[in-house]
Amino acid sequence: MHLIIQIPCYNEADTLPQTIANLPTQIPGIKRIETLVIDDGSSDDTVFVARQFGVDYIIRHPHNRGLAAVFQTGLDACLRLGADIIVNTDGDNQYPGHQIPRLIEPVLQRKADIVIGDRQTHTIQHFSPLKRFLQQWGSWVVRLASDTGVPDATSGFRAFSRDAAMRLTIFTKYTYTLETIIQAGKKGLIVASVPIEVNAPLRKSRLIKSNWSYIKRNASTILRLYTFYEPLRTFFYFSLPFFLAGLFLLGRFFYFYLSGVINTMGRYVQSVTIGGTLLTLGLLIFIIGVIADLIAANRMLMEETLYRIKRLEADGADPIPHLVSVNKTKS
C-alpha cells in the first residue's frame, strides 16, 4: 500500500518543521510513505523549509487560491502519484502526526472510505465556550444534511481511500471540510471517525476571521450543497409555506361564503387574490424543484464520467502542473 500525506500550506515556514518531524516513517500494512506539500502562494520560506526537511513532492500555486483549491490540487496530485491512501493534515501542526496509523486503520481494513479525526471539541481547552457550541451545533447540522454520523465536521485531519478521493470534486471556494462530508454521504461512501488529540495552537486560525463570518460562510455552504444534492426536497420545503398560506386564505373565504356568513363574493376578494397568488408562487417554486431534480440526475451522470476520467488520468503518466520532486530517489 502506498500512502501519501498531503500538507496544504500558506506561510507555514515556522510551523512546518514540527509538522513534518511528527509524521510517521513506518506504518504496519503500508509499504511506502511519501509527503506532499501544496504551497498556496506563500510569501515566506515555506517551500525552502519543505525541501530542507525532506518532503518528497512540492506543488506551488502561483498565487493564493484558498484552502479548498489547495486541497483539491493535493488530492488530484496524490492520485496521479499512485497513492492508495491519502492523509490530509494541516501545516500549522494542529494534528499530531503520530496518530496517522490510527486514522488510516479503518481504510486499511476496508471498513471505511473516509476517516475523519474527531478532535472532541468539547474538551479542547483553548476553544472558547461559544466556539465549542458552534462547532458542535455545526457538526449536528452537517450530520442532518449529509446523513452521516460525523461528530467533528470541520476537522481537517482525514484519510481517504483511492476510490473515495476519485469521487470527490470540490465546488466551493471557502473550505473543503463540510463539502466532502456532504458529498460522501450523498454518494453512499462510508464515513467513519476516530477520536484524536490536538496539539496546542502555534498561531491564530486564518480561516476563521470572526464567529459571525464563520457561521455565515458555513451556513451558505451547507445550504448550497444540500440544494445541490437534494433539489426537489429543498424546493418543496421552500414552496410549502406559500401552499399552506394560500390554502388557508382560500379555505377561509369558501368557508365563510358557503356557511352564509358573507352574502357576496366581493366582500373577501382580497383573500381570494392573495391566496391564489400564494398558491401560484408555491407551484412555481415546486416546478423549479422538479427541473432542478432533473438537472441533478444529469449531474450524477457527469460526476460518474468525471470519476472514470480521473481513474484514467491517475493510471496514466501525464505530468502534474507545478510539481517538484524533491527526493529524486523516491519519485
* Predicted structure pTM score: 0.79
Distances (CA, A) of 206 to 10, 62, 124, 131: 10, 19, 18, 15
Q: How high is the pLDDT of residue 35?
A: 95
Strand 85-88 to strand 158-161: parallel, antiparallel, or no bridges (unpaired)? antiparallel
pLDDT over threshold 50, residue 329: no
Do the Cβ atoms of 218 and 178 come closer than 8 Å?
Answer: yes
Q: What is the pLDDT of residues 19-40, one digit of tens each?
A: 999 999 999 999 999 999 999 9
Grid coordinates given for 223: 445550504
Q: Count the Cβ atoms, other than its own, within 10 Å of residue 228.
A: 18
Is 70 exceeded by the pLDDT of residue 188? yes
How does pLDDT run across 46-100, given as a tens digit for each residue?
Answer: 999 999 998 999 999 988 888 889 999 999 999 989 999 999 999 888 898 999 9
Residue type, 27: I
* For the chain, domain boundaries: 2-229, 231-311
Each residue of 53-65: b (16+ CB within 10 Å) or e? Answer: bebbbbbbbeeeb
> b vs e for 105-135, b when ≥16 Cβ sit within 10 Å of the residue's Cβ?
bbbbeeebbbbbbbbebeebeebeeebeebb
The pLDDT-based confidence of 328 (bands split at 50, 70, 90) is very low
Q: Which fold has domain 2-229?
A: Spore Coat Polysaccharide Biosynthesis Protein SpsA; Chain A (3.90.550)
